[in-house]
Amino acid sequence: MNKKSSSAKAKLRCDICGKRFKKGGSRYRINLEIISDFDGHIEDLSKKPEDYLEKKMDKILDETKEMTEKELEEEIYLKRNWLVCIKKN
Ligand SMILES: [Zn+2]
């Protein structure tokens, strides 16, 4: 992130070319959203031992306990946005 854009008084600049937006000029907001998807496959738990799910949860909790909350969040959800001028050549 450009530190200059964090000030509210600073003029808005294009996130790609850095050019200032002209008053009344067109600009575009690009939103990128990545969300983890579920493939719909569910294991048949009736064929598994009784404590199968419990053990699996323990394993997941064990694997993720070292991760920070942010890392965990980004693993499944990522959102970015840019403000750009999109020059017409
Ligand atoms: Zn630009």
- Distance in Å, CA 8 to ligand 1 centroid: 20
Contacts by residues 7-11 (CB-CB < 8 Å, ≥ 24 positions apart) = none
Instruction: Give me the mean pLDDT over the 8-35 stretch.
Output: 83
- Render the burial of 25-55: b for 16+ CB within 10 Å, e for the rest: eeeeeeeeeeeeeeeeeeeeeeeeeeeeeee
- Distance in Å, CA 3 to ligand 1 centroid: 17
pLDDT, tens digit, for every residue of 32-80?
887 777 777 777 777 778 787 778 778 877 777 776 766 666 666 778 8
Return the pLDDT at 48. 78
- Distance in Å, CA 69 to ligand 1 centroid: 34
- Distance in Å, CA 78 to ligand 1 centroid: 23
Return the pLDDT at 3. 52
- Distance in Å, CA 75 to ligand 1 centroid: 30
The residue extents of the domains of the chain are 11-36+47-84
